[in-house]
A = this chain, B = another copy of it.
Amino acid sequence: MDRTFPSLLARMQELKDLGGVIGLATWDQETFLPAKAEGARAHQLSTLQGLYHERLVDPRLGEALAWAAGQKTLDADQQAMVRVLTHERDRAVRVPQALVKALAEAQSHGLAAWRQARKEKRFALFQPALERMLALRREQADAYGHDGERYDALLEGYEPGMRVSRLTPVLTALRDALIPMVATLAAAPRKVENLLEGRRFDTEAQWRFTLKLLAAVGFDLEAGRQDRSIHPFTGGTHPQDVRLTTRLDETNPLSAFFSTIHEAGHGLYEQGFDEAHYRTPLAAAPSMGLHESQSRLWENVVGRSRAFWEHFFPPLAQAFPEALAGVGLEGFLAAANRVSPSLIRTEADEVTYNLHIVLRYELELLLIHDELPLSEVPAAWNERMQRYLGVTPPDDAQGVLQDIHWAWGELGYFPTYALGNLYSASLFRAAERALPDLNAQLRRGELLPLREWLRVHVHRQGYRLPAEALIQQVTGRGLTDTDFLAYLREKYGALYGVKL
């Protein structure tokens, strides 16, 4: 048995290396994989994931972790490594192999059924697959264990430490504040238009501008790369090998710019992990919500701000002299920040976005609790869309079938997007307090002081603390919607000329 920390560390490193290689194979799948190789890659990934699982549940690792948990001589970081890996391992061990297999099959089947249902715009075609997936996920939640709230056990997979009892009051208050805010903005006398519509923006020039943005935020292209993919994402194999993708759309340059800044936010987080944590469980974010806080902070709080574009609009106008003719800074800011209740979550603005999330969170709770007949899900979706956003999907494809998450069985994932938004505003508020010159720096295009502050207070911490404890440590208080709502009120009140 391994009764030394170095031998336990070697197991941690092996797991991290395997995770890195899974990251490479996944990144490659979305960027450079030849079309005919999809089947081969699925086999390769399945083999890698099987090996990862085998190593993780290896009883000898369990014994080594149990031994290490009792060692008082380990330093704080070593103890945190043991804690984090034990948590991951305990969850993996609790799910029986037969259930792991059934879930994988249900995912594969669910994905196919969802694609077909979406194509035919009929939720009924997806319903049996979703029913099967929900039954399995409930079973999995019970295998993980919980205090009577099954959803907690699923949430734990994305947002360790978060609980329904903590989350529901915050998201409900957020919802109740946002609904009237959306209505007020819709009724505002000042109209905010998107002047970019109908114009064409050369995609090569867009690409070059995204590289300027990466340089400005301090994403290290010697420790990462940017490529193109259909759906932008951040992947990679290691903090020194962080891979972003962006999407280039000739008719919508905002897509590339904000995708790049969003993914760079994720990427800066990964690149910012402490070198001492490389190849250990601490070189990781403590939660999806905290990871998302970094992408949202850069994309929205910084990247859609007036201060940011006061510096970056002139070079942008220079890069697109014809396409941006007559737009100007004000026109561009309006296009980037226009609030408009819409059907599709991924296209939603900052104000309406969280209402899409709350809707999904509420339905997920009902589904996991088995309190909503599946045949009524589309109606429940549409009714909430109308109530929260004032719009009703014309069909299921633009409604309940729009996201891949449920097909994939990812219940518990959606709320982390809202947590990311809330945390991003709280962190930026804390940064403003710590860096009195921050706004002036942004206006001068100096983004590195903010990156450095985030690096020290968030990135380098890695997985030492759970997400909310880290937020508490950095901002002085835990999860709250106060900073986010204040941010929206100030920014959108000014943009629309109304009091929110």
Contact = CB atoms under 8 A, between A and B. Distances in A.
Interface in A1-57: 13-14, 17-18, 20-21, 24-25, 28, 32-37, 39-41, 43-44, 46-48, 50-51
Interface of A: 13-14, 17-18, 20-21, 24-25, 28, 32-37, 39-41, 43-44, 46-48, 50-51, 220-225, 237-238, 240-241, 278-279
A51 B22 CA distance: 14
B220 A37 contact: no
A238 B238 CA distance: 25
B17 A222 contact: no
A240 B20 contact: no
Given A40-B278, A43-B279, A51-B51, A241 B33 contact: yes
A278 B41 CA distance: 12
B225 A34 contact: yes
Contacts of A51: 18, 51
Given A14-B47, A34-B224, A241 B40 contact: yes
Contacts of A222: 34-36
A240 B28 contact: no
If over half of A's interface residues share one DSSP class (helix, strand or loop), that class is named, otherwise mixed; here it is helix
Contact of A47 (B17, B37, B50): B17
A240 B39 contact: yes
Given A37-B241, A237-B41, A240-B40, A47 B18 contact: yes
Contacts of A24: 24-25, 28, 44
29 contacts: A13-B43, A14-B47, A14-B50, A17-B43, A17-B44, A17-B46, A17-B47, A18-B47, A18-B51, A20-B44, A21-B44, A21-B48, A24-B25, A24-B44, A28-B28, A32-B225, A34-B222, A35-B222, A36-B220, A36-B240, A36-B241, A37-B238, A37-B241, A39-B240, A40-B237, A40-B240, A40-B241, A40-B279, A41-B241
A21 to B, nearest CB: 5
A17 B25 CA distance: 11
B37 A240 contact: yes
Given A34-B223, A223-B34, A238 B25 contact: no
A222 to B, nearest CB: 5
Contacts of A36: 220, 222-223, 240-241
